Amino acid sequence: MSANPAADGRLHVGVDCLVVGDRPSGVERAVVGLVEGLVEIEPADQRFSLLIAEGREEALPTGREIAPLVAPPWAGGRAGRVTYEQFFAGARLSAADVDVVHGAAYVLPLGWAGPSVVTIHDTITLSRPDWCQWHNVIHYGLVMTRSARRADAVIVPSAFTKGELVEHVGVDPSRVRVAPLGVSGEFAPAGEDAIERVRERYGLAERYLLCVGNVEPRKNLAAVIDALSSVAERIPHDLVIAGKRGWKCGRISAEIEHSPSADRIHRLGWVAHEDLAALYSGADLLIQWSLHEGFGLTPLEAMACGTPAVVSDGGALPEVAGDGARIVPLADGADGLAGALIELTEDSQARAELSRRGIEHAARYTWAEHARIVSQVYREVAGAKG
């Protein structure tokens, strides 16, 4: 294997995209966004092979210098992915004659010894293992930590995550690059016809508040439900929760069942990507009051659609949201969140101003810019090993 560009002068980069499934969310969408950005910028000095499980190739954007590097179908499942990454992916990438390997979702293949880059989206399994599944704590505690320490460069989506990585893993800050995630072009204010179609498809009320993300404890949905219950007599809104069932989601189900506003809370499950822009656009507010986030893509997507966002100060959310969203500190409790909900739902001018600021703010985040930063990191690590 060589650390130098191929005979045609271009750097051949292998990107591990095995995490991408048929219903992408969270980190999977960030990996898809990276590929989308690479397709858009088309760096003249680079070409890309995307490691992806057979049958899932269509989940990734395609480009002139981007081709799938197909793994067996069984590598698409969780256990299969872990096994393939650690015991087979290194040899597969070496056989493809790649120059640099990018572990785009926390992990580098064990069998790869050449120039490498790894993206660490968050360090929650290290900083707050009590918010995570035990097998994730074990797996990422071992493999993510090792990957971050042996990579030639580490990419993170926020300065907050960089700080946590340095603190909990001991990575030299000079090896860490911050590359904020982007917002795809389809996230823009939807027309009334599209909004109405989504309302009908999912049986939504005329006015609703929206939460988007996997249903798990760190999303702090119990506090959102409490806030809604306390203001239910003041506002006409329903609460819509869109996201896959996650770890300990049974607790959220119980919270909903016992809420005095249970009849106004609607769980949609995973929502198809093509419906998200209209779902965001139809909401009066997007709420992401998480306990911890390594970035915060959901509020940016909502802002791009013109929907005002209310976020917590958990993790990187204040850094990412900036002045484009209303930030309600977690220390204010559900009562503080309830106060913000009343203010914004009852004041159309305040919502309009927050919508304007949000659209302007979200426009600063693009996958093309994310890909430019990452592409430069590929050059740096290849040059350092050349």
User: Does residue 47 fall inside a structural domain?
Assistant: yes
Same domain, 65 and 200: no
Same domain, 151 and 209: no
Cα–Cα distance between 20 and 360 in angstroms, integer?
A: 30
Same domain, 329 and 281: yes
User: Does residue 350 fall inside a structural domain?
Assistant: yes
Cα–Cα distance between 198 and 275 in angstroms, integer?
A: 7
Other beta carbons less than 10 A from residue 258's beta carbon: 10
pLDDT (0 to 100) of residue 259:
86
Per-residue confidence at 258, pLDDT binned at 50, 70, 90? confident
333-377 pLDDT, tens digit each: 999 999 999 999 999 999 999 999 999 999 999 999 999 999 999
Same domain, 22 and 117: yes
User: Does residue 2 fall inside a structural domain?
Assistant: no
- Structurally, the chain folds into a number of domains equal to 2
313-326 pLDDT, tens digit each: 999 999 999 999 99
Cα–Cα distance between 298 and 317 in angstroms, integer?
A: 10
Residue 9: exposure state from Cβ atoms within 10 A (0-12, 13-18, ≥19): exposed
Residue 224 has pLDDT above 60, yes or no: yes
Same domain, 178 and 221: no
Average pLDDT of the chain is 92
User: Does residue 109 fall inside a structural domain?
Assistant: yes
User: Does residue 301 fall inside a structural domain?
Assistant: yes
Amino acid at site 181: L
79-91 pLDDT, tens digit each: 999 999 999 999 9
215 vs 365, residue with greater confidence: 365
Q: Please list the residues that pair with 266 across neighbouring strands.
A: 240
Please compute, for residue 271, the number of CA atoms within 13 A of its CA located in the half-sphere on the CB side.
24
Per-residue confidence at 26, pLDDT binned at 50, 70, 90? confident
Same domain, 261 and 165: no
Nearest to 296 by CA among 266, 255, 327, 265: 327
In the chain, % of residues over pLDDT 90: 80
Give Cβ neighbours of residue 241 (< 8 Å, ≥ 6 apart): 211, 215, 221, 252, 265, 266, 267, 268
Residue 385 has pLDDT above 80, yes or no: no
Same domain, 260 and 243: yes
| Domain span at 150 | 11-182+366-385
pLDDT (0 to 100) of residue 214:
84
Cα–Cα distance between 46 and 7 in angstroms, integer?
A: 12
Same domain, 151 and 107: yes
| Burial letters 368-378, b for 16+ CB under 10 A, else e | ebbbbebbebb
User: Does residue 5 fall inside a structural domain?
Assistant: no
pLDDT (0 to 100) of residue 1:
40
Cα–Cα distance between 233 and 92 in angstroms, integer?
A: 60
User: Does residue 264 fall inside a structural domain?
Assistant: yes
Residue 135 has pLDDT above 80, yes or no: no
CATH number at residue 317: 3.40.50.2000
Same domain, 121 and 207: no
Same domain, 207 and 106: no
Per-residue confidence at 308, pLDDT binned at 50, 70, 90? very high
pLDDT (0 to 100) of residue 2:
45
In the chain, % of residues over pLDDT 70: 96
Whether 295 contacts 181, CB under 8 Å: yes
Same domain, 315 and 371: no
- Average pLDDT in the 146-173 region? 96
Same domain, 148 and 59: yes
User: Does residue 91 fall inside a structural domain?
Assistant: yes
